């Protein structure tokens, strides 16, 4: 990413270390088996430390500058609550410390296009399994891991396990399974080979929790959405107005694919404003107070936007955002309505003009 930003041409390099395909000194075990070697060729992963040092020396001798960047871990080493040489011996100790005191950085946004290769460069060819000294092996139909290496395959696995099947929601119940593809994430090979970033997986999990679990349980922090979702969960019923708004929220605010069963809108550029919709069709907040009892003591139209209330007013209503009732999972546009509680139950002058349109200004 740094090179792509700072230079005109980029040469991607991967080093196949022949020592990785030899046998161990003791007992002559293969360091890289046929299945792993095949996955590696499909992935083309990172260099080991000794290869990296040799590469540095070669580049230095050739007058080329080397810049290294920390990667491949969920937490950046600078964000750890302890020095790298003082990492706890057990994972539980490590996990408790970082969860309490550290943060996970978001994934780096990839550019739409990488810089070109220098002209006339010889790219060479990927070695074959035979050249690496590894015998090919056919895929056993009984395998629980019938996947290939590479980023595309890894991203497809994330999509299937998270969004298509919802299996991630059952991970704790199924993770000790033995047969089949779906009892666990199966993401470790892609993570180990650098095909997927742990920060990307973390971001997808958070996105899933916000989009699926919070919405299904009526815990998005947007009262009009939560009231409709709780009514659906408890009774199996949701009004037509509720369906339109919840669908808009899921697709336009949370960015979910309408093909997940949400439904679609033929007016592609329409987006409902949850606050204004709530004020138009539940101006006194009675519907919200019926289905979101945590907010029952908030009077009038303020119940539509509790995040705009002062701590004093929230305390008087017995509401603690982030504890008693969640903060909104998304605030952009959804909370944009400026006169969120100025109607105080008055009948709106005009209904229906309650959605946003995408700007045609591409500047």
Phi, psi of 356 (to 5 degrees): -100, 155
Beta strands 355-357 and 270-272: pairing type? antiparallel
Exposure string of 165-204, with b = 16+ CB inside 10 Å and e = fewer, is eebbeeeeeeeeeeeebebbbbbebbbbbebbbbbbbbeb
Annotated binding residues for FAD:
171, 184-188
Cite the annotated binding site by residue number.
Answer: 171, 184-188
What angle, 0 to 180 degrees and rounded to 10, lies between the N-to-C axes of helices 223-235 and 274-281? Answer: 70
Between CA 78 and CA 2 the distance in angstroms is: 19
Contacting residues for 284 by C-beta, under 8 A, at least 6 apart:
300, 301, 345
Give me the half-sphere count of Cα atoms (radius 13 Å) on the Cβ side of residue 75.
18
Residues found in the chain: 363
Separation CA 341–CA 304 (nearest Å):
8
The span from the CA of 208 to the CA of 169, in Å, is: 9
Q: Which residues contact 261 (CB under 8 A, 6 or more apart)?
A: none
Contact 34, 139 (CB under 8 A): no
d(CA 228, CA 287): 9
Are 87 and 94 in contact by the 8 Å Cβ rule? The answer is yes
């Amino acid at each position: 990413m740094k090179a792509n930003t700072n230079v005109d041409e980029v040469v991607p390099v991967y080093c196949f270390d022949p020592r990785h395909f030899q046998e161990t000194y003791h007992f002559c075990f293969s360091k890289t088996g046929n299945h792993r070697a095949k996955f590696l060729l499909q992935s083309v992963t990172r260099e080991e430390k000794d290869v990296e040092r040799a590469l540095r020396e070669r580049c230095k001798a050739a007058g080329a500058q080397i810049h290294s960047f920390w990667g491949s871990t969920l937490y950046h080493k600078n964000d750890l609550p302890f020095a790298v040489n003082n990492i706890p011996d057990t994972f539980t100790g490590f996990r408790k410390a970082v969860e309490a005191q550290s943060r996970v950085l978001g994934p780096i946004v990839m550019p739409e296009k990488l810089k070109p290769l220098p002209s006339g460069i010889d790219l060479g060819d990927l070695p074959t399994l035979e050249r690496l000294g590894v015998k090919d092996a056919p895929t056993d139909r009984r395998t629980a891991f019938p996947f290939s290496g590479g980023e595309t395959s890894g991203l497809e696995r994330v999509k299937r396990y998270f969004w298509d099947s919802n299996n991630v929601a059952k991970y704790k119940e199924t993770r000790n399974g033995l047969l089949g593809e779906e009892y666990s994430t199966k993401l470790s090979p892609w993570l180990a080979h650098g095909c997927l970033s742990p920060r990307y997986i973390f971001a997808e999990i958070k996105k899933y929790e916000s989009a699926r679990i919070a919405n299904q349980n009526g815990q998005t922090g947007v009262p009009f959405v939560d009231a409709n979702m709780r009514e659906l969960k408890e009774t199996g019923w949701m009004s037509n107005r509720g369906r339109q708004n919840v669908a808009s929220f899921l697709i336009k605010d949370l960015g979910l694919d309408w093909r997940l069963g949400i439904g679609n809108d033929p007016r592609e550029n329409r987006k409902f404003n949850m606050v204004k919709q709530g004020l138009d069709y539940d101006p006194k907040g009675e519907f919200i107070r019926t289905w979101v009892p945590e907010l029952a003591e908030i009077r009038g139209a303020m119940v539509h936007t509790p995040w705009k209330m002062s701590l004093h007013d929230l305390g008087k209503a017995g509401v603690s955002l982030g504890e008693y009732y969640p903060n909104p999972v998304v605030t952009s546009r959804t909370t944009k309505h400026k006169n969120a509680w100025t109607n105080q139950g008055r009948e709106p002058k005009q209904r229906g003009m309650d959605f946003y349109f995408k700007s045609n200004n591409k500047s």
